[in-house]
Chain A
Amino acid sequence: MQTLKDMAAYIGENYDLLLIYTGQHLLMVVCGVFLALIVGTLLGIVCARFKKAAPFILAIANIIQIIPSLALLAILMVYFGLGFYTVVAGLFLYSLLPIIRNTYVGLDQVDQSLIEAGHGIGMTYFQLLLKVQLPLAMPFIMAGLRIAAVIAVGVATIAPFVGGDGLGREIFSGINSRNDMRIFVGAIPASLLAIIADLVLGRMERKMKYTTKPKTS
């Protein structure tokens, strides 16, 4: 009970700092994932168009995903220096795999008869992509984005190791000062961010689904 009271008091005193941390956290995640959405979708389209390139692209994205997050950020730090850009670059790389893979799968699962219909009525490759394939792959791409965002919120908590900001700062201060309460005050909002991202993107994903089967009545 005492800790909860303390926590409330602490948050009351430092809410402005915590809000800034949360904002910084979000900014890193949004920048990293947004870049990954653009690049990943394009790479996914390349995978779907050139099936032979798909294994290579996916393998590279897989390897990036396997590198431990701390190690990846450390390597990036060598090139980008300390701070914001290193974290964004790391989150970008981490988000690539789910987005590429889901775009690829999403485009690939589009009913072949729709592609044939599109071709047959005189759509060019890009018209088919923009008007038919991408809209129909949207739920899949959104699912990939959702996975990427949840991972990114988590990974972003280790940003302070490479000079980044965000809620990780509060967690590390807590570790350094052996103050459990501060660890919680950093960890709980980070978890909440991940849950909210999951819920919001999940809802968007469901909105984009439509049935292709004839109604049975």
Chain B
Amino acid sequence: MIRFEKVYKRYADGFQALKDINLDLEAGKIHVFIGPSGCGKSTTMKHINRLITPTEGKVFIDGEDITAVNPVQLRRKIGYVIQNIGLFPHMTIAENVAVVPRLLKWDEIKIQNKVNELLSLVNLPPETYRNRFPGELSGGQQQRVGVIRALAAEPDIILMDEPFSALDPISREQLQDELTNLQENIQKTIVFVTHDMDEAIKIADNIVLMKAGEVIQVGTPEQILRHPANDFVKEFIGKKRLVEHRENTMFTNFDEGVPSVREVMIDKPVTAAPQRGLASSLNLMEQRRVDSLIVVDKHRKLLGYAPILNVLGHISDETKVLADVMQSFTFSVKPEDPFTAALEYMGQNNAPYVPVVNEENILVGAVTRGSIVRLMSEVYPVIEEVL
């Protein structure tokens, strides 16, 4: 679909941005270009819509050399999403989405239908959002519009240059999910540039790992995690991910000893400050679906816990706060302890969880029933097949 043949890019100042890029990007897949900043991933992508022309070598789309195509016509057939969103602030959302169809002189009714269809697709009800201006939307909403603007003219190829990196983590995850869902329906060829390995693993069908203007490794996320080509790739993927990926093998043989509390615990248990009022504590419990809160001071020093019955018992007294109703823990574990210490206590005392603290009594996590179930499912991953 998209083919790079011996592409080199040298700038006038002698900087060698790309060296001998040879790539075959299959149609209908998400191809993620990843690497440290300055590695040439964006530069490579911008060759596809001729924002940059190669010094040597050729780029083909569907077998056609793109230097033979008028760059303006070429770009109108390729969706483009940039990091800074790039919505035109003086145009409404509908006008922004309709920019490329208008450039292509589509029929106005067709344009409006398309705009409404796309807005609905990303859960921005057209009747509410059509006539708003980009400045009235949150960052995540703006980038949703940025993405559908790229889809508006029904291109076969969409280029996305670090589209989600400027967003907060929650919006970023949402948009990643939406993109993968969207792709199941639209089946476009997407070239996605990022420096975030988690993002790449999450969305990619094919990862192109680059460094200093060269392609280091190409493969599916699975292939790259299992067979990193060299130390650079290993380092870039990060030890943590390689370990996570090997968790299965690690837990299936206990030769290495019993897993430590650190490996089993959840690191973000639901906590609250001692000054928190009872009604808002109850609210927090409801939201997070827990039946007790771990009470910590502002340095996260462990103070105690407040079970829901204590909170409910005093709920009518508006002057009471968590500090008045909490109980102290009779037992806690250290991250280095074997997790069986926590398990034993939980089993004997029917405790729902055990707090994990370090030497200074600072809360670092909790071993919960859920975390133990998760561990068990990793230890016995093939139980279904056995049955």
Chain A residues near B (Cβ < 8 Å): 111, 113-114, 116-124, 127, 131-132, 135-136, 210-215, 217
Contacts and interface: CB of A to CB of B under 8 A. Distances in A.
A116 B83 CA distance: 11
Contact of B138 (A111, A123, A127, A214): A214
Contact of B135 (A117, A132, A214): A214
Contacts, number: 80
B49 A120 contact: yes
Contact of B90 (A113, A210, A214, A217): A210
A211 B90 CA distance: 9
A30 B86 CA distance: 37
Contact of A121 (B76, B90, B136): B76
A29 B305 CA distance: 78
B72 A124 contact: yes
Contacts of A217: 138
B134 interface: yes
Nearest to B140: A214
Nearest to A116: B82
A217 B149 CA distance: 24
B51 A212 contact: no
A35 to B, nearest CB: 27
Contact of A122 (B75, B82, B135): B75
B80 interface: yes
Given A116-B82, A127-B103, 18 more contacts: A111-B84, A113-B82, A117-B88, A118-B88, A119-B51, A120-B82, A121-B75, A121-B79, A121-B103, A122-B100, A122-B103, A123-B103, A210-B133, A211-B133, A211-B135, A212-B134, A215-B135, A217-B138
Interface residues of B, number: 33
A117 B78 CA distance: 12
A139 to B, nearest CB: 10
Contacts of B159: 120
A47 B378 CA distance: 66
B230 to A, nearest CB: 34
Interface of B: 49, 51, 72-77, 79-80, 82-90, 99-100, 103, 133-139, 142, 149-150, 159
A215 B88 CA distance: 15
Given A211-B135, A213-B135, A214-B137, A117 B80 contact: yes
Contacts of B137: 214-215
A214 B133 contact: no
A214 B87 CA distance: 11
A212 B139 CA distance: 11
B89 A136 contact: yes
Contacts of A113: 82-86
A62 to B, nearest CB: 31
Contacts of A214: 134-135, 137-139, 142
A117 B86 contact: yes
B88 to A, nearest CB: 6
Nearest to B104: A122
A121 B88 CA distance: 12
A136 B133 CA distance: 14
Contacts of B99: 121, 123, 131
Contact of A210 (B79, B80, B103, B135): B135
B42 to A, nearest CB: 11
A50 to B, nearest CB: 18
Contact of B72 (A122, A135, A136, A212): A122
Nearest to A214: B139
A211 B135 CA distance: 6
A212 B75 contact: no
A130 to B, nearest CB: 12
B289 to A, nearest CB: 27
Q: Which 4 A-B pairs have the closest CB atoms?
A: A117-B86, A122-B75, A122-B76, A113-B84
Given A127-B103, A212-B135, A214-B135, A119 B88 contact: no
A141 to B, nearest CB: 14
Contacts of B84: 111, 113
